[in-house]
Amino acid sequence: MLMLKDPSLLRTQAYINGAWVDAAATFTVDNPATGEVIATVADVGVAGTRAAIDAAHAAQPGWAAWTGKERAAVARRFYDLIVANADDLAAILTAEMGKPLPEAKGEILYGASFIEWFAEEAKRIYGDVIPGHQRDKRILVLKQPVGVVGSITPWNFPNAMIARKLAPALAVGCTFVARPSELTPLSALALAALAARAGVPAGVFNVVPSYDAAAVGAELCANPKVAKITFTGSTRVGKILMRQCADTVKKLSLELGGNAPFVVFDDADLDAAADGALIAKFRNAGQTCICANRIYVQAGVYDAFAKKLRERLATLRLGNGTEPGVTTGPLISEAAVAKVERHLRDAVEKGAAVVAGGRRSNLGRTFFEPTLLTEVTQDMLVAREETFGPLAPLVRFATEEEAVAMCNASEFGLAGYVYSRDLARVWRVAERIETGMVGINTGLISTEVAPFGGVKQSGLGREGSKYGCDDYLETKYLCLGGI
Ligand code: ADP
Protein backbone atom coordinates (compact mmCIF):
# COMPACT_ATOMS: atom_id res chain seq x y z
CA MET A 1 0.00 0.00 0.00
CA LEU A 2 1.37 3.34 -1.06
CA MET A 3 1.28 5.88 1.80
CA LEU A 4 1.35 9.47 0.55
CA LYS A 5 1.17 12.77 2.41
CA ASP A 6 -1.16 13.92 -0.36
CA PRO A 7 -3.10 10.89 -1.63
CA SER A 8 -4.68 13.02 -4.37
CA LEU A 9 -1.41 12.75 -6.28
CA LEU A 10 -2.11 9.10 -6.98
CA ARG A 11 -4.27 9.40 -10.09
CA THR A 12 -5.63 6.55 -12.16
CA GLN A 13 -7.70 8.47 -14.71
CA ALA A 14 -6.38 10.12 -17.85
CA TYR A 15 -5.93 13.90 -17.88
CA ILE A 16 -7.45 15.38 -21.02
CA ASN A 17 -8.45 19.00 -21.64
CA GLY A 18 -8.15 19.88 -17.96
CA ALA A 19 -10.41 17.04 -16.78
CA TRP A 20 -9.79 13.63 -15.23
CA VAL A 21 -11.45 11.05 -17.43
CA ASP A 22 -12.19 7.35 -17.22
CA ALA A 23 -12.01 4.84 -20.01
CA ALA A 24 -13.89 1.63 -20.70
CA ALA A 25 -10.64 -0.33 -20.64
CA THR A 26 -8.03 -0.38 -17.89
CA PHE A 27 -4.57 -1.83 -17.27
CA THR A 28 -2.67 -2.56 -14.09
CA VAL A 29 0.60 -1.09 -12.84
CA ASP A 30 2.86 -3.42 -10.87
CA ASN A 31 5.60 -2.84 -8.36
CA PRO A 32 8.68 -4.47 -9.95
CA ALA A 33 10.19 -5.23 -6.54
CA THR A 34 7.23 -7.21 -5.26
CA GLY A 35 5.05 -7.97 -8.27
CA GLU A 36 2.07 -6.42 -6.43
CA VAL A 37 -0.52 -4.42 -8.32
CA ILE A 38 -0.28 -0.76 -7.26
CA ALA A 39 -3.05 0.70 -9.36
CA THR A 40 -5.53 0.08 -12.14
CA VAL A 41 -5.31 2.87 -14.69
CA ALA A 42 -7.64 4.10 -17.45
CA ASP A 43 -6.56 2.88 -20.88
CA VAL A 44 -7.73 5.66 -23.17
CA GLY A 45 -6.32 4.14 -26.34
CA VAL A 46 -6.47 5.85 -29.71
CA ALA A 47 -9.85 7.54 -29.09
CA GLY A 48 -8.63 9.25 -25.91
CA THR A 49 -5.39 10.21 -27.60
CA ARG A 50 -7.32 11.84 -30.41
CA ALA A 51 -9.42 13.76 -27.87
CA ALA A 52 -6.24 14.95 -26.16
CA ILE A 53 -4.73 16.02 -29.48
CA ASP A 54 -7.90 17.96 -30.32
CA ALA A 55 -7.76 19.67 -26.92
CA ALA A 56 -4.09 20.49 -27.28
CA HIS A 57 -4.68 21.82 -30.77
CA ALA A 58 -7.53 24.06 -29.61
CA ALA A 59 -5.55 25.35 -26.64
CA GLN A 60 -2.30 26.04 -28.47
CA PRO A 61 -2.90 29.48 -30.01
CA GLY A 62 -4.21 30.81 -26.71
CA TRP A 63 -1.23 29.46 -24.78
CA ALA A 64 1.20 30.84 -27.34
CA ALA A 65 -0.45 34.24 -27.00
CA TRP A 66 0.45 34.46 -23.31
CA THR A 67 3.56 36.52 -22.74
CA GLY A 68 6.72 34.64 -21.94
CA LYS A 69 6.58 36.15 -18.49
CA GLU A 70 3.07 34.84 -17.91
CA ARG A 71 4.01 31.33 -19.00
CA ALA A 72 7.14 31.60 -16.87
CA ALA A 73 5.08 32.43 -13.78
CA VAL A 74 2.91 29.33 -14.19
CA ALA A 75 5.92 27.13 -14.91
CA ARG A 76 7.66 28.49 -11.83
CA ARG A 77 4.62 27.62 -9.69
CA PHE A 78 4.66 24.16 -11.26
CA TYR A 79 8.33 23.80 -10.29
CA ASP A 80 7.64 24.93 -6.72
CA LEU A 81 4.82 22.40 -6.38
CA ILE A 82 6.98 19.56 -7.70
CA VAL A 83 9.67 20.40 -5.16
CA ALA A 84 7.14 20.74 -2.34
CA ASN A 85 5.70 17.32 -3.20
CA ALA A 86 8.98 15.62 -4.03
CA ASP A 87 8.62 12.97 -1.32
CA ASP A 88 5.24 11.81 -2.59
CA LEU A 89 6.36 11.91 -6.21
CA ALA A 90 9.43 9.85 -5.28
CA ALA A 91 7.29 7.31 -3.43
CA ILE A 92 5.05 6.90 -6.48
CA LEU A 93 8.10 6.60 -8.73
CA THR A 94 9.80 3.95 -6.60
CA ALA A 95 6.57 1.98 -6.33
CA GLU A 96 6.04 1.77 -10.08
CA MET A 97 9.65 1.64 -11.25
CA GLY A 98 11.78 0.22 -8.45
CA LYS A 99 14.73 2.60 -8.07
CA PRO A 100 15.80 3.36 -4.48
CA LEU A 101 13.86 6.20 -2.85
CA PRO A 102 16.82 8.64 -2.61
CA GLU A 103 17.52 8.09 -6.31
CA ALA A 104 13.82 8.57 -7.07
CA LYS A 105 13.85 11.86 -5.20
CA GLY A 106 16.97 12.83 -7.12
CA GLU A 107 15.09 12.16 -10.33
CA ILE A 108 12.14 14.31 -9.21
CA LEU A 109 14.47 17.23 -8.45
CA TYR A 110 16.37 16.65 -11.69
CA GLY A 111 13.10 16.73 -13.66
CA ALA A 112 12.00 19.82 -11.74
CA SER A 113 15.25 21.57 -12.60
CA PHE A 114 14.22 21.51 -16.27
CA ILE A 115 10.86 23.09 -15.44
CA GLU A 116 12.71 25.81 -13.53
CA TRP A 117 15.36 26.36 -16.22
CA PHE A 118 12.87 26.65 -19.06
CA ALA A 119 10.55 28.82 -16.96
CA GLU A 120 13.46 31.24 -16.93
CA GLU A 121 14.08 30.79 -20.65
CA ALA A 122 10.41 31.50 -21.48
CA LYS A 123 11.18 35.22 -21.27
CA ARG A 124 14.14 34.99 -23.62
CA ILE A 125 12.84 33.51 -26.85
CA TYR A 126 14.53 36.16 -28.94
CA GLY A 127 14.21 36.68 -32.64
CA ASP A 128 16.65 38.65 -34.75
CA VAL A 129 17.01 41.65 -37.01
CA ILE A 130 19.22 41.08 -40.06
CA PRO A 131 20.69 43.92 -42.12
CA GLY A 132 18.67 44.04 -45.34
CA HIS A 133 19.99 42.93 -48.71
CA GLN A 134 18.31 45.82 -50.59
CA ARG A 135 17.87 49.46 -49.67
CA ASP A 136 14.07 49.28 -49.41
CA LYS A 137 13.96 46.05 -47.42
CA ARG A 138 14.23 45.04 -43.78
CA ILE A 139 14.61 41.49 -42.49
CA LEU A 140 13.22 40.15 -39.23
CA VAL A 141 13.35 36.67 -37.71
CA LEU A 142 10.65 35.40 -35.36
CA LYS A 143 10.83 32.29 -33.19
CA GLN A 144 7.45 30.64 -32.89
CA PRO A 145 6.27 27.50 -31.09
CA VAL A 146 5.99 24.46 -33.37
CA GLY A 147 2.46 23.70 -32.13
CA VAL A 148 1.14 20.48 -30.58
CA VAL A 149 3.84 18.15 -29.29
CA GLY A 150 3.28 14.40 -28.93
CA SER A 151 5.56 12.80 -26.37
CA ILE A 152 6.37 9.10 -25.90
CA THR A 153 8.56 8.20 -22.94
CA PRO A 154 10.04 5.10 -21.31
CA TRP A 155 9.82 3.63 -17.81
CA ASN A 156 13.40 4.15 -16.60
CA PHE A 157 12.88 7.83 -15.70
CA PRO A 158 9.09 8.04 -15.42
CA ASN A 159 9.19 11.66 -14.25
CA ALA A 160 12.32 13.24 -15.70
CA MET A 161 11.92 12.02 -19.27
CA ILE A 162 8.56 13.79 -19.43
CA ALA A 163 9.75 16.89 -17.53
CA ARG A 164 12.73 17.30 -19.89
CA LYS A 165 10.39 17.51 -22.88
CA LEU A 166 7.43 19.25 -21.27
CA ALA A 167 9.52 22.08 -19.80
CA PRO A 168 10.78 23.63 -23.06
CA ALA A 169 7.49 22.90 -24.85
CA LEU A 170 5.42 24.78 -22.27
CA ALA A 171 7.95 27.58 -21.99
CA VAL A 172 7.89 28.49 -25.67
CA GLY A 173 4.12 28.13 -26.13
CA CYS A 174 3.59 24.59 -27.38
CA THR A 175 0.88 22.31 -26.02
CA PHE A 176 1.60 18.73 -25.08
CA VAL A 177 0.14 15.24 -25.20
CA ALA A 178 2.16 12.81 -23.10
CA ARG A 179 1.92 9.08 -23.59
CA PRO A 180 3.91 7.65 -20.66
CA SER A 181 5.19 4.09 -20.60
CA GLU A 182 2.44 1.62 -19.80
CA LEU A 183 4.71 0.38 -17.00
CA THR A 184 4.96 3.78 -15.27
CA PRO A 185 1.96 6.04 -15.95
CA LEU A 186 1.48 7.13 -12.32
CA SER A 187 4.40 9.56 -12.20
CA ALA A 188 3.10 11.26 -15.35
CA LEU A 189 -0.41 11.57 -13.93
CA ALA A 190 0.94 13.02 -10.68
CA LEU A 191 2.76 15.64 -12.73
CA ALA A 192 -0.50 16.51 -14.46
CA ALA A 193 -2.20 16.95 -11.07
CA LEU A 194 0.48 19.45 -10.05
CA ALA A 195 0.42 21.24 -13.41
CA ALA A 196 -3.31 21.76 -12.97
CA ARG A 197 -2.75 23.13 -9.47
CA ALA A 198 -0.07 25.47 -10.82
CA GLY A 199 -2.56 26.98 -13.26
CA VAL A 200 -1.50 25.35 -16.53
CA PRO A 201 -4.64 25.94 -18.62
CA ALA A 202 -6.92 23.14 -19.81
CA GLY A 203 -5.64 21.39 -22.93
CA VAL A 204 -2.06 22.61 -22.58
CA PHE A 205 -0.74 19.46 -20.88
CA ASN A 206 -2.59 16.18 -21.40
CA VAL A 207 -1.63 12.69 -20.23
CA VAL A 208 -3.00 9.67 -22.08
CA PRO A 209 -2.22 6.44 -20.27
CA SER A 210 -2.62 3.57 -22.71
CA TYR A 211 -1.54 -0.01 -22.94
CA ASP A 212 -1.19 -0.35 -26.70
CA ALA A 213 1.88 1.76 -27.37
CA ALA A 214 2.02 0.94 -31.07
CA ALA A 215 -1.57 2.06 -31.78
CA VAL A 216 -1.27 5.28 -29.79
CA GLY A 217 2.17 5.96 -31.24
CA ALA A 218 0.77 5.53 -34.76
CA GLU A 219 -2.02 8.01 -34.00
CA LEU A 220 0.37 10.61 -32.59
CA CYS A 221 2.58 10.27 -35.66
CA ALA A 222 -0.21 10.30 -38.24
CA ASN A 223 -2.51 12.94 -36.77
CA PRO A 224 -2.04 16.16 -38.77
CA LYS A 225 -2.77 18.29 -35.70
CA VAL A 226 0.44 17.10 -34.07
CA ALA A 227 3.41 19.16 -35.26
CA LYS A 228 6.19 17.32 -33.52
CA ILE A 229 7.04 14.02 -31.86
CA THR A 230 9.50 13.86 -29.02
CA PHE A 231 10.56 10.38 -27.99
CA THR A 232 12.93 8.73 -25.58
CA GLY A 233 13.37 4.98 -25.89
CA SER A 234 14.94 2.33 -28.03
CA THR A 235 16.51 2.91 -31.43
CA ARG A 236 14.18 0.24 -32.80
CA VAL A 237 11.04 2.17 -31.83
CA GLY A 238 12.66 5.51 -32.75
CA LYS A 239 13.03 4.24 -36.31
CA ILE A 240 9.39 3.16 -36.42
CA LEU A 241 8.31 6.63 -35.28
CA MET A 242 10.57 8.31 -37.81
CA ARG A 243 9.01 6.27 -40.62
CA GLN A 244 5.51 6.97 -39.36
CA CYS A 245 6.20 10.70 -39.19
CA ALA A 246 7.31 10.87 -42.80
CA ASP A 247 3.81 11.20 -44.23
CA THR A 248 3.07 14.39 -42.31
CA VAL A 249 6.71 15.57 -42.21
CA LYS A 250 6.69 16.06 -38.46
CA LYS A 251 9.57 17.47 -36.56
CA LEU A 252 11.29 14.85 -34.43
CA SER A 253 13.40 14.82 -31.32
CA LEU A 254 14.72 11.35 -30.59
CA GLU A 255 16.73 10.28 -27.59
CA LEU A 256 17.53 6.68 -28.39
CA GLY A 257 19.75 3.84 -27.26
CA GLY A 258 23.31 4.28 -26.12
CA ASN A 259 26.21 1.92 -25.72
CA ALA A 260 28.43 4.22 -23.72
CA PRO A 261 32.18 3.55 -23.69
CA PHE A 262 34.04 4.36 -20.48
CA VAL A 263 37.79 4.65 -21.06
CA VAL A 264 40.41 4.49 -18.32
CA PHE A 265 43.92 5.45 -19.44
CA ASP A 266 47.15 4.49 -17.70
CA ASP A 267 47.57 8.02 -16.36
CA ALA A 268 44.10 8.25 -14.82
CA ASP A 269 43.36 8.80 -11.14
CA LEU A 270 42.25 5.21 -10.61
CA ASP A 271 40.21 5.87 -7.48
CA ALA A 272 38.30 8.62 -9.23
CA ALA A 273 37.86 6.36 -12.26
CA ALA A 274 36.53 3.50 -10.15
CA ASP A 275 34.13 5.86 -8.35
CA GLY A 276 33.00 7.23 -11.69
CA ALA A 277 32.56 3.78 -13.21
CA LEU A 278 30.48 2.64 -10.26
CA ILE A 279 28.07 5.51 -10.64
CA ALA A 280 28.06 5.54 -14.45
CA LYS A 281 27.41 1.81 -14.58
CA PHE A 282 25.26 0.97 -11.57
CA ARG A 283 23.07 4.05 -11.20
CA ASN A 284 19.44 3.00 -11.65
CA ALA A 285 20.69 -0.63 -11.60
CA GLY A 286 22.33 0.01 -14.97
CA GLN A 287 19.05 1.05 -16.58
CA THR A 288 19.91 4.42 -18.09
CA CYS A 289 20.71 5.19 -21.71
CA ILE A 290 23.97 6.88 -20.67
CA CYS A 291 25.11 4.04 -18.41
CA ALA A 292 28.68 2.93 -19.06
CA ASN A 293 28.15 -0.20 -21.11
CA ARG A 294 31.72 -1.02 -22.18
CA ILE A 295 34.57 -0.21 -19.85
CA TYR A 296 37.91 0.00 -21.68
CA VAL A 297 40.97 -0.09 -19.43
CA GLN A 298 44.55 0.39 -20.57
CA ALA A 299 46.72 -2.68 -20.00
CA GLY A 300 49.07 -1.08 -17.46
CA VAL A 301 46.27 -0.38 -14.96
CA TYR A 302 43.81 -3.10 -15.90
CA ASP A 303 44.31 -5.33 -12.87
CA ALA A 304 44.56 -2.46 -10.39
CA PHE A 305 41.39 -0.88 -11.76
CA ALA A 306 39.50 -4.19 -11.70
CA LYS A 307 40.44 -4.61 -8.04
CA LYS A 308 39.26 -1.11 -7.13
CA LEU A 309 35.97 -1.49 -8.97
CA ARG A 310 35.41 -4.86 -7.33
CA GLU A 311 35.90 -3.29 -3.89
CA ARG A 312 33.34 -0.64 -4.72
CA LEU A 313 30.85 -3.21 -5.98
CA ALA A 314 30.95 -4.76 -2.54
CA THR A 315 29.51 -1.53 -1.10
CA LEU A 316 26.33 -1.79 -3.20
CA ARG A 317 23.22 -3.07 -1.46
CA LEU A 318 20.56 -4.76 -3.48
CA GLY A 319 16.97 -4.60 -2.32
CA ASN A 320 13.52 -3.07 -2.44
CA GLY A 321 14.00 0.62 -3.16
CA THR A 322 11.88 1.62 -0.18
CA GLU A 323 14.33 0.09 2.31
CA PRO A 324 16.87 2.45 3.85
CA GLY A 325 20.45 1.85 2.69
CA VAL A 326 19.50 0.11 -0.54
CA THR A 327 21.59 1.39 -3.45
CA THR A 328 20.42 -0.95 -6.18
CA GLY A 329 16.81 -1.83 -6.86
CA PRO A 330 15.19 -4.51 -9.00
CA LEU A 331 15.24 -4.52 -12.76
CA ILE A 332 12.01 -3.45 -14.41
CA SER A 333 10.96 -6.96 -15.46
CA GLU A 334 12.02 -10.57 -15.72
CA ALA A 335 12.68 -9.99 -19.41
CA ALA A 336 15.28 -7.40 -18.38
CA VAL A 337 16.94 -9.96 -16.12
CA ALA A 338 16.92 -12.48 -18.95
CA LYS A 339 18.79 -9.99 -21.18
CA VAL A 340 21.50 -9.53 -18.54
CA GLU A 341 21.81 -13.30 -18.27
CA ARG A 342 22.06 -13.66 -22.04
CA HIS A 343 24.91 -11.13 -22.18
CA LEU A 344 26.62 -12.78 -19.24
CA ARG A 345 26.35 -16.28 -20.67
CA ASP A 346 27.66 -15.17 -24.05
CA ALA A 347 30.62 -13.42 -22.44
CA VAL A 348 31.53 -16.37 -20.23
CA GLU A 349 31.25 -18.79 -23.16
CA LYS A 350 33.67 -16.59 -25.11
CA GLY A 351 36.20 -16.46 -22.27
CA ALA A 352 35.21 -13.69 -19.82
CA ALA A 353 35.72 -14.20 -16.08
CA VAL A 354 33.08 -13.41 -13.44
CA VAL A 355 34.85 -11.49 -10.69
CA ALA A 356 31.79 -10.46 -8.66
CA GLY A 357 28.07 -11.29 -8.74
CA GLY A 358 27.02 -13.21 -11.81
CA ARG A 359 23.66 -14.55 -10.65
CA ARG A 360 20.08 -13.70 -9.91
CA SER A 361 19.71 -12.64 -6.32
CA ASN A 362 17.74 -14.75 -3.87
CA LEU A 363 15.63 -11.62 -3.26
CA GLY A 364 13.43 -12.69 -6.12
CA ARG A 365 12.58 -12.65 -9.78
CA THR A 366 13.64 -9.15 -10.81
CA PHE A 367 16.78 -8.82 -8.68
CA PHE A 368 20.19 -9.43 -10.24
CA GLU A 369 23.47 -9.16 -8.36
CA PRO A 370 25.81 -6.31 -9.37
CA THR A 371 28.29 -8.11 -11.58
CA LEU A 372 31.86 -7.50 -12.71
CA LEU A 373 33.35 -9.28 -15.72
CA THR A 374 37.01 -9.20 -16.75
CA GLU A 375 38.78 -10.44 -19.89
CA VAL A 376 35.93 -9.14 -22.01
CA THR A 377 36.53 -8.66 -25.74
CA GLN A 378 34.88 -6.58 -28.47
CA ASP A 379 33.17 -9.58 -30.08
CA MET A 380 31.02 -10.31 -27.02
CA LEU A 381 27.39 -9.16 -26.88
CA VAL A 382 28.09 -7.04 -23.78
CA ALA A 383 30.41 -4.84 -25.82
CA ARG A 384 28.05 -4.51 -28.76
CA GLU A 385 24.54 -4.22 -27.31
CA GLU A 386 23.15 -2.09 -24.52
CA THR A 387 22.82 -4.42 -21.51
CA PHE A 388 20.56 -2.13 -19.44
CA GLY A 389 21.42 -3.96 -16.26
CA PRO A 390 24.00 -4.20 -13.45
CA LEU A 391 26.74 -5.84 -15.48
CA ALA A 392 30.15 -4.15 -15.84
CA PRO A 393 32.43 -5.63 -18.52
CA LEU A 394 36.13 -4.70 -18.52
CA VAL A 395 37.90 -4.77 -21.87
CA ARG A 396 41.70 -4.40 -22.09
CA PHE A 397 43.35 -2.07 -24.62
CA ALA A 398 46.94 -1.11 -25.44
CA THR A 399 47.03 2.28 -27.20
CA GLU A 400 44.99 5.47 -27.42
CA GLU A 401 44.40 4.75 -31.10
CA GLU A 402 42.95 1.36 -30.27
CA ALA A 403 40.73 2.77 -27.50
CA VAL A 404 39.24 5.39 -29.83
CA ALA A 405 38.64 2.79 -32.54
CA MET A 406 36.88 0.50 -30.05
CA CYS A 407 34.73 3.37 -28.73
CA ASN A 408 33.63 4.30 -32.23
CA ALA A 409 32.94 0.75 -33.38
CA SER A 410 29.24 1.19 -32.63
CA GLU A 411 26.20 2.50 -34.44
CA PHE A 412 25.30 4.35 -31.22
CA GLY A 413 26.74 7.64 -30.02
CA LEU A 414 25.04 9.01 -26.93
CA ALA A 415 27.51 9.39 -24.04
CA GLY A 416 31.16 8.49 -23.56
CA TYR A 417 33.46 8.79 -20.56
CA VAL A 418 37.22 9.35 -20.49
CA TYR A 419 39.52 9.21 -17.48
CA SER A 420 43.01 10.63 -17.91
CA ARG A 421 45.18 13.32 -16.32
CA ASP A 422 46.90 14.18 -19.59
CA LEU A 423 45.17 17.30 -20.90
CA ALA A 424 46.33 16.83 -24.47
CA ARG A 425 45.12 13.23 -24.53
CA VAL A 426 41.77 14.19 -23.03
CA TRP A 427 41.31 16.83 -25.70
CA ARG A 428 42.34 14.52 -28.56
CA VAL A 429 40.07 11.70 -27.44
CA ALA A 430 37.11 13.96 -26.61
CA GLU A 431 37.29 15.41 -30.12
CA ARG A 432 37.51 12.04 -31.83
CA ILE A 433 34.95 10.11 -29.83
CA GLU A 434 31.68 9.83 -31.77
CA THR A 435 29.15 10.67 -29.05
CA GLY A 436 26.94 13.64 -28.29
CA MET A 437 28.28 13.94 -24.73
CA VAL A 438 31.63 13.21 -23.13
CA GLY A 439 32.22 12.94 -19.39
CA ILE A 440 35.86 13.74 -18.65
CA ASN A 441 37.01 12.52 -15.27
CA THR A 442 33.40 12.26 -14.18
CA GLY A 443 30.72 9.62 -14.41
CA LEU A 444 27.81 12.01 -13.89
CA ILE A 445 26.96 14.37 -16.73
CA SER A 446 23.22 15.04 -16.65
CA THR A 447 22.12 18.58 -15.83
CA GLU A 448 19.48 20.95 -17.08
CA VAL A 449 22.11 23.56 -18.02
CA ALA A 450 23.85 21.35 -20.63
CA PRO A 451 22.61 19.97 -23.97
CA PHE A 452 21.74 16.27 -23.64
CA GLY A 453 21.53 14.18 -26.79
CA GLY A 454 23.23 11.80 -29.15
CA VAL A 455 24.78 11.40 -32.57
CA LYS A 456 24.67 8.47 -35.02
CA GLN A 457 21.73 6.16 -34.22
CA SER A 458 21.39 7.57 -30.70
CA GLY A 459 19.08 10.28 -31.91
CA LEU A 460 18.21 13.78 -33.01
CA GLY A 461 17.95 17.02 -31.07
CA ARG A 462 19.04 18.16 -27.63
CA GLU A 463 17.28 18.45 -24.29
CA GLY A 464 18.22 21.09 -21.73
CA SER A 465 20.37 24.23 -21.88
CA LYS A 466 20.01 27.28 -24.09
CA TYR A 467 19.95 24.91 -27.08
CA GLY A 468 16.94 23.03 -25.72
CA CYS A 469 14.31 25.56 -26.82
CA ASP A 470 15.29 25.19 -30.48
CA ASP A 471 13.71 21.74 -30.71
CA TYR A 472 10.31 23.30 -29.96
CA LEU A 473 10.62 26.42 -32.11
CA GLU A 474 10.17 27.27 -35.76
CA THR A 475 12.15 30.07 -37.35
CA LYS A 476 10.06 32.47 -39.42
CA TYR A 477 11.65 35.11 -41.59
CA LEU A 478 9.80 38.34 -42.41
CA CYS A 479 10.90 40.39 -45.36
CA LEU A 480 9.56 43.96 -45.20
CA GLY A 481 9.59 45.68 -48.57
CA GLY A 482 8.73 49.16 -49.83
CA ILE A 483 10.48 51.05 -47.08
P1 ADP B 1 12.59 0.60 -23.62
O2 ADP B 1 13.43 -0.55 -24.00
O3 ADP B 1 13.28 1.70 -22.92
O4 ADP B 1 11.28 0.22 -22.98
P5 ADP B 1 11.05 1.13 -25.97
O6 ADP B 1 11.49 1.89 -27.17
O7 ADP B 1 10.61 -0.25 -26.14
O8 ADP B 1 12.27 1.28 -24.99
O9 ADP B 1 9.90 1.91 -25.22
C10 ADP B 1 9.90 3.30 -25.03
C11 ADP B 1 8.47 3.79 -25.07
O12 ADP B 1 7.96 3.58 -26.36
C13 ADP B 1 7.54 3.05 -24.11
O14 ADP B 1 6.62 3.95 -23.58
C15 ADP B 1 6.86 2.06 -25.02
O16 ADP B 1 5.60 1.70 -24.54
C17 ADP B 1 6.75 2.87 -26.29
N18 ADP B 1 6.61 2.06 -27.50
C19 ADP B 1 6.95 0.77 -27.72
N20 ADP B 1 6.66 0.40 -28.98
C21 ADP B 1 6.12 1.48 -29.60
C22 ADP B 1 5.63 1.76 -30.93
N23 ADP B 1 5.62 0.83 -31.88
N24 ADP B 1 5.17 3.00 -31.17
C25 ADP B 1 5.16 3.94 -30.23
N26 ADP B 1 5.62 3.75 -28.98
C27 ADP B 1 6.10 2.55 -28.66
**Which amino acid makes up residue 456?**
K
Cα of 155 vs centre of ligand 1, distance in Å, is: 9
**Is ligand 1 within 6 A of the CB of residue 370?**
no
Q: Are residues 236 and 100 in the same domain?
A: yes
The percent of residues above 70 in pLDDT, for the chain, comes to 100
**Is ligand 1 within 6 A of the CB of residue 237?**
yes
**Is ligand 1 within 6 A of the CB of residue 154?**
yes
Q: Are residues 211 and 345 in the same domain?
A: no
Is there a domain that residue 42 lies in?
Answer: yes
pTM of the model: 0.97
Q: Are residues 277 and 249 in the same domain?
A: no
Q: Are residues 84 and 119 in the same domain?
A: yes
Res. 364 pLDDT band, cuts 50 70 90: confident
Is there a domain that residue 36 lies in?
Answer: yes
Q: How far is CA 86 from the centre of its chain?
A: 19
Q: Are residues 347 and 204 in the same domain?
A: no
Q: Residue with the nearest Cα to atom 19 of ligand 1?
A: 213
pLDDT of residue 471: 97
Tell me: pLDDT of 1 over 90.
no
Q: Residue with the nearest Cα to atom 3 of ligand 1?
A: 233
Is there a domain that residue 195 lies in?
Answer: yes
**How does DSSP classify residue 136?**
T
Give the mean model confidence (pLDDT) for residues 18-26.
98
Is there a domain that residue 266 lies in?
Answer: yes
Is there a domain that residue 337 lies in?
Answer: yes
Average pLDDT in the chain: 97
pLDDT tens digits, 280-339 = 999 999 999 999 999 999 999 999 999 999 999 999 999 999 999 999 999 999 999 999
Contacts of 247 (CB under 8 A, 6+ apart): 222
pLDDT of residue 61: 98
- Give the CA distances from residue 206 to residues 13, 261, 361, 412, 423, in Å, rounded to whole numbers and listed in that order: 11, 37, 39, 32, 48
Cα of 64 vs centre of ligand 1, distance in Å, is: 30
Q: Are residues 245 and 323 in the same domain?
A: no
Q: Residue with the nearest Cα to atom 22 of ligand 1?
A: 214
Nearest atom of ligand 1 to the alpha carbon of 237 = 6
C-alpha closest to that of 158 among 25, 321, 277: 321
CATH number at residue 65: 3.40.605.10
Cα of 236 vs centre of ligand 1, distance in Å, is: 9
Residue to mutate, 234, 333, 387, ligand 1, most ligand atoms under 8 Å from C-beta: 234
Q: Are residues 249 and 265 in the same domain?
A: no
Residue to mutate, 152, 387, 457, ligand 1, most ligand atoms under 8 Å from C-beta: 152
Cα of 213 vs centre of ligand 1, distance in Å, is: 7
pLDDT of residue 276: 98
Q: Are residues 29 and 77 in the same domain?
A: yes
pLDDT of residue 358: 96
* CA 162/CA 152 separation, integer angstroms: 8
**Is ligand 1 within 6 A of the CB of residue 233?**
yes
pLDDT of residue 110: 98
Q: Are residues 194 and 293 in the same domain?
A: no
Is there a domain that residue 248 lies in?
Answer: yes
* CA 110/CA 448 separation, integer angstroms: 8
Cα of 482 vs centre of ligand 1, distance in Å, is: 53
CATH number at residue 349: 3.40.309.10
Q: Are residues 276 and 391 in the same domain?
A: yes
Q: Are residues 341 and 197 in the same domain?
A: no
**Is ligand 1 within 6 A of the CB of residue 279?**
no
Domain assignment of residue 197, given as a range: 7-256+458-477
pLDDT tens digits, 413-448 = 999 999 999 999 999 999 999 999 999 999 999 999
Nearest atom of ligand 1 to the alpha carbon of 234 = 6
Catalytic residues: 255
Is there a domain that residue 281 lies in?
Answer: yes
Res. 100 pLDDT band, cuts 50 70 90: very high
Q: Residue with the nearest Cα to atom 23 of ligand 1?
A: 214
What's the order of all strands across the beta sheet hosting 138-145?
128-130, 138-145, 473-480
The percent of residues above 90 in pLDDT, for the chain, comes to 99
**Is ligand 1 within 6 A of the CB of residue 217?**
yes
Give the mean model confidence (pLDDT) for residues 41-53.
98
Q: Are residues 310 and 170 in the same domain?
A: no
* CA 153/CA 316 separation, integer angstroms: 28
Is there a domain that residue 453 lies in?
Answer: no
Nearest atom of ligand 1 to the alpha carbon of 244 = 24
Residue to mutate, 161, 183, 216, 237, ligand 1, most ligand atoms under 8 Å from C-beta: 237
Q: How far is CA 254 from the centre of its chain?
A: 10
**Is ligand 1 within 6 A of the CB of residue 17?**
no
Structurally, the chain folds into a number of domains equal to 2
Tell me: pLDDT of 269 over 90.
yes
Contacts of 342 (CB under 8 A, 6+ apart): 381
